[in-house]
């Protein structure tokens, strides 16, 4: 039964929560759509998405020794740092830029079908998780070669990746909604993400900032990057980074729910 009317906030909120819940439960749809996009990358190309892994690998091979020397770092520590950072960055940055198009690209579906909007967001998150899986080859090779001394924190890394993916969910709902309405947003976000690459500690370390080291902690991108990167490199993760990551998650979902419950029904008209 579908019941729709001009309703007070509470009812809209329930519909928004139902959309997210039903969306997550329709995993057979978004898993299929996500795989389909990956398969489309493979079709009629010998290596398909492996090319992305290769280009990431070449970037690390080139940048690692060069920037390691420019910044006078110990290469056996700098190269793994850079490799993990760049692989994670390609995941996080793609989550941010592609989440803008989650609804716009699903226009054909949205205008014909009654599917939870969240399905289209999860399709993007799932696709990018698969692509992260491809790039993990690089992480395994680099870490296998340099062998940092891992601690028990290593077990936290998969959960940290999961937390990033969960944040991809609210980001996709929020940015997808805003981008469907304001078509400038995907363009703005793309250029901001390019700048963010240089402002986020990926090829440089926060400790290089000296007395301004604390400023890195204000960067939410660094927070999520670091809770995965540090355990992989055998470094301790500060508790406040996890706290901050959870904080961002809660705030993100709150803002998203507010806007999503208000404008969910409009998305079909905007795309």
Partner 1 sequence: MTSILADSIIVEFPIYGGKSRSLKHTFVRAATGGLLSRNAAERVVVRALNRLSFHFVEGDRIGVMGHNGSGKTTLLRVIAGAYEPVGGTISVVGKVATMIAITLGMDPESTGYENIFLRATIMGLKPSQIAPLADEIAEFSELGDYIHMPLRTYSSGMAMRLAFAVSTSVSADILLMDEWLSAGDAAFSAKAQVRLNSLVDRAKLLVLASHDEKLIRKNCNKIMRLDHGEVVGFEAVSAQPAGRLPFAV
Q: Which residues bind partner 1 (CB under 8 A)?
A: 1-6, 28-29, 32, 36, 39-40, 43-44, 108-114, 181-185, 188, 265, 268-270
Smallest gap from Cβ 44 to partner 1, in A, equals 8
Q: Which C-beta is closer to partner 1: that of 46 or that of 207? A: 46
Q: Which C-beta is closer to partner 1: that of 6 or that of 218? A: 6
Smallest gap from Cβ 194 to partner 1, in A, equals 19
Radius of gyration of the chain (CA): 20
Smallest gap from Cβ 107 to partner 1, in A, equals 11
Phi-psi region of 200 (alpha: psi -120 to 50; beta: other; left: phi over 0): beta
Q: Which C-beta is closer to partner 1: that of 138 or that of 267? A: 267
Q: Which C-beta is closer to partner 1: that of 28 or that of 46? A: 28
CA distance linking residue 20 with residue 38, whole number of Å: 24
Smallest gap from Cβ 139 to partner 1, in A, equals 30
Q: What DSSP letter does each residue of 51-77 carry, written as one string?
A: HHHHHHHHHHHHHHHHHHHHTT--HHH
Q: CA 47, 137, 90, 67: dihedral to nearest 10 degrees?
A: -110
Handedness of CA 132, 133, 134, 137 (dihedral sign): positive
Q: Which C-beta is closer to partner 1: that of 117 or that of 224? A: 117
User: Helix or strand or coil: residue 147?
Assistant: coil
Smallest gap from Cβ 260 to partner 1, in A, equals 14
Smallest gap from Cβ 174 to partner 1, in A, equals 15
Q: How far is CA 232 from CA 143, 175, 207, in A?
A: 8, 30, 18
Q: Hunting for tokens 């967001």 — which residue is that?
A: 121
Q: Which C-beta is closer to partner 1: that of 19 or that of 226? A: 19
């Amino acid at each position: 039964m579908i019941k729709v009317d001009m309703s007070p906030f509470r009812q809209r909120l329930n519909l928004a929560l139902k959309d997210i819940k039903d969306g997550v439960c329709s995993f057979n749809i978004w898993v299929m759509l996500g795989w389909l996009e990956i398969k489309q990358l493979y079709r009629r190309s010998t290596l398909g998405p492996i090319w992305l892994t290769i280009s990431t690998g070449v970037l690390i091979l080139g940048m690692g020794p060069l920037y390691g020397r420019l910044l006078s770092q110990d290469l056996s520590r700098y190269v793994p740092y850079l490799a993990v950072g760049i692989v994670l960055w390609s995941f996080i940055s793609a989550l941010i830029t592609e989440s803008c198009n989650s609804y716009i690209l699903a226009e054909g579906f949205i205008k014909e079908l009654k599917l939870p909007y969240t399905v289209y967001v999860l399709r993007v998150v799932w696709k990018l998780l698969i692509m992260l899986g491809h790039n993990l080859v690089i992480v395994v090779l680099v870490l296998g070669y340099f062998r940092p001394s891992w601690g028990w924190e290593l077990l936290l890394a998969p959960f940290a990746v999961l937390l990033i993916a969960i944040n991809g969910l609210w980001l996709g709902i929020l940015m997808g909604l805003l981008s469907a309405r304001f078509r400038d947003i995907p363009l703005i976000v793309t250029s901001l993400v390019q700048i963010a690459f240089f402002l986020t500690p990926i090829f440089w370390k926060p400790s290089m900032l000296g007395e301004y080291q604390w400023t890195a902690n204000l960067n939410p991108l660094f927070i999520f990057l670091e809770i995965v990167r540090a355990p992989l490199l055998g470094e301790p993760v500060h508790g406040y980074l996890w706290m901050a990551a959870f904080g961002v998650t809660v705030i993100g979902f709150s803002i998203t729910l507010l806007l999503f419950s208000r404008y969910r029904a409009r998305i079909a008209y905007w795309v």
